[in-house]
Amino acid sequence: MASAVNKSVLSDVAAEVKKYHFPLEDVPRLSCNDPVVEQMIRNEEPVILTDTNLVAAGMQWSPQYLAENIGNGLYTVYSSKTQKFLYYDDKKVARVPDFSPPTVHEDMTFQNFLCKVNKRKEGDRWMYLQQSLNDTVGPPIVRDFTTFNWAWISEQQQKNKWGALTSNLLLVGMDGVITPVHYDEQQNFFAQICGFKRFILFDPSMFGCLYPYPVYHPHDRQSQVDFDNPDFVRFPRAKELRGRQAILGPGDVLYLPVYWWHQVESVPGRGMTVSVNFWYKSAPTEKIVYPLKPQQKVAMMRNIEKMITDALNSTEEVAPLMQAMVLGRYT
């Protein structure tokens, strides 16, 4: 059994983290046996679960343990000049002529990654390993993986009529790395193994305050708002942001609902982080009920943006058409 994270450590961590311009409410921390948990997951509300034992056998996955047991497969390692690792979609890079990727990624062995992290001096690039677990991992890791609490998580999947588990992303980050605010299109159970991660969350209705890049853009799903330096002239509604915060320590699992916005920070001064997420396809939409939910509106806006981009057969013509359709007419 994984021991629950010490509450006083969590409040120390909460006191250390950066403050931004918006208020944050705490995400509830509950036992997975608490009856309200079922309801929260059904309602797509984030919740921290303290005792799922989801990755119990993986709790020994320190960077060192992984280096010794994960094998010689190649892992995708992102590097960045800053602590921030703004995601971009390689497949969309060609559509935006003047796009310059904010990070680069290369494939290397886990051992090579850890060696680079350990040798890193100030001013060197930051590094973040992000790779789906696959069949190249060594036998001890396979063994740990098979003892994950699949019974519990499959029960959640079935209760909520989710689709298939699509991947388990392994994240190994240097102390202080940040994944800027974005949303994903899948349901996620995010299991923290080593170190502390702080999630800043916003519900899907905050779409209008977070100004995601166009869908055709490599930064699709990522907010244009930089919390360290918000541009309230371009993004005035960013002032209306109201968020939630979840601080995860080893053994904690966050239910991160589909379309919820999240920024994820490896808490500075608390060492490297190791996490594994469990991405599931959402339930198929049941019969439509009005008014639509914010999530459904986001899905709809994504479809419209894709349709328009496809129909025009040109990314350059999308903005003028969108503007003509909306400015002075729906504003």
Q: Which of 130, 156, 187, 224 binds a copy of itself (CB under 8 A)?
A: 224
Distance CA 289, CA 93 (A): 37
Q: Which of 58, 212, 249, 257 binds a copy of itself (CB under 8 A)?
A: 212
CB atoms within 10 A of CB 226: 14
CB of 311: closest distance to a copy of itself in angstroms? 6
Region from 55-63, 96-104, 181-189, 316-324 binding Zn ion, contact rule CB under 5 A = 181-189
- Binding site partner of 291, from Zn ion, a copy of itself, none, Cβ cut-off 5-8 A by kind: a copy of itself
C-alpha–C-alpha distance, residues 330 and 110, integer Å: 52
Picked from a copy of itself, Zn ion, none, the partner binding residue 23 (CB below 5 to 8 A depending on kind) is none
Residues 295-324 that bind a copy of itself (CB under 8 A): 297, 300-301, 304-305, 307-308, 311-314, 317-324
What's the CA dihedral at 249, 254, 256, 260 to 10 degrees? -50
CB of 125 to a copy of itself, least distance (A): 30
Q: In this chain, which of 235, 281, 283, 293 binds a copy of itself, going by CB under 8 A?
A: 235
Out of a copy of itself, Zn ion, none, which partner does residue 224 contact, by CB within 5 to 8 A per kind? a copy of itself
Distance CA 211, CA 214 (A): 9
DSSP of 148-171: S-HHHHHHHHHHTT---EEEEEEE
**Toward a copy of itself, which CB reaches closer, 220 or 265?**
220
Helices (H), 120-266: 139-146, 150-159, 207-210
Nearer to Zn ion, 53 or 275 (CB): 275
Where in 182-211 is the site for Zn ion (CB under 5 A)? 184
Q: Residues 251-290 vs a copy of itself: string with x where CB under 8 A? A: ---------------------------------------x
DSSP 171-189: EEE-TT-EEEEEE-SSEEE
Instruction: Give the integer Cα–Cα distance in Å for 141 and 234.
Output: 47
Residues 6+ apart with CB under 8 A from 288: 296
Sign of the CA dihedral running 213, 219, 222, 227? negative
Q: What Cα–Cα distance (Å) separates residue 279 from each residue in 23, 120, 219, 255, 276?
A: 28, 32, 20, 10, 10
CB of 322 to a copy of itself, least distance (A): 4
Binding site for a copy of itself (CB under 8 A): 207-208, 211-214, 224, 234-237, 290-292, 297, 300-301, 304-305, 307-308, 311-314, 317-331
Binding site for Zn ion (CB under 5 A): 184
